[in-house]
Amino acid sequence: MACRNLRGPLVNKKPLRILNVVGARPNFVKIAPIMAAYAKFPNDIDAVLLHTGQHYDDSMSRSFFADLELPQPRINLGVGSASHARQTAAIMVKFEDQLAIIRPQLVVVVGDVNSTMACALVCAKEHIRVAHVEAGLRSFDRNMPEEINRMVTDRLADLLFTTCEEANVNLASEGIGSEKIFLVGNTMIDALVSLRPKYEAAGAAARFGLNSTPFAFVTIHRPSNVDDKPILAGICDALQCLQHERKLFWPLHPRTKSRLKQHGLWQAVNRMTNLIITDPLGYIDSMSVMASSSLVLTDSGGIQEETTALGIPCLTLRNNTERNITILEGTNELVGNKPEGIVRRAKEILQSGGKRGRIPRLWDGKAATRIVDLILGLVPN
């Protein structure tokens, strides 16, 4: 939908104060291009970055700021980890205090983590306009906490910026008016495009000894896959089988590492001779290694999008996805989390090369520019 300038240009006014909320690693990737786009309007926009502290480990937070050329947050709420209810409540209490101090004209939330929903809810109570970046994605599985976060945030938001037509359809089917919905593209792909020279030059695959042979890139972190011992054991069985076919590279999420040890699977994983395990990687190293891989096995939402943009076959170890466009148009396939299905399809791809995909419309590296242009045209100062 084209931008309609409802309130005229920002002339002889104070800069529009926009409070931008991040809390977890995927948020950092999504907000970085938007912060860069704001910087082109220093007289029109005062962009404040707030980190809730939902991801607080250096490997999950600080390193990403440097890699993404993202300014350090002006505010860090430092909430840390807790149950969903306690974490959400802590974010809401601390965020409410900051709203009273900052007094923004707009709050921008991204993605689907607890920070996204918590801050949108506080803004709704305080009558502050909210823009949701990556709106309208649906897995239709309410057992996923992210699905609840997405649905609540979209219901409360005033501006809904979507990555694909399917998201627009989802929002319309839920009764959200078309005047709030704007198809802009995908800021995850903006980051991928703008930082391509850096991750191509990083040579991370060679540093990990992966430059001489084809390999598969693995990421597993969702509670539905790692918290249940039989499911995690089955995924490890699949990796045990596949490591005889192809070298595997697995940067371990802290939650996954903890569960492997808790479930008594750590020693068995470490005995796999063709598996390389590392600590979590920063964005540049992660993209550098993944871009060199021949297959990706993951349960991450963002990686489904990144592999589609990179043209790499991706097997998603889930029974559903909110990013269906990566299946319809991209290189992604759902294989569930049962070892038989994972191994069968992975072997087929290793032999045949996997399906060919294409990059979806507007995944062109310019989504953030569209978002900022819309904000300037639609949000009163």
User: Catalytic positions, please?
Assistant: 221
β-pair type (314-316, 215-219):
unpaired
CA distance 220 to 226: 8
d(CA 204, CA 197): 13
Query: Using CA atoms, how far apart are residues 154 and 27, in angstroms rounded to an integer?
Result: 16
What is the arrangement of strands in the sheet containing 332-334, beginning at the earlier edge strand?
275-278, 247-251, 215-219, 295-298, 314-316, 332-334
Handedness of CA 89, 91, 96, 97 (dihedral sign): positive
> What is the Cα 147 distance to its own chain's centre?
14
CA distance 167 to 224: 24
Q: Which residues contact 4 (CB under 8 A, 6 or more apart)?
A: 377, 378
45-51 β-sheet, strand order:
75-76, 45-51, 16-22, 106-110, 129-135, 159-162, 181-183
Tokens 């809401």, residue located: 92
**CA-closest candidate to residue 230, choices 259, 267, 250:** 259
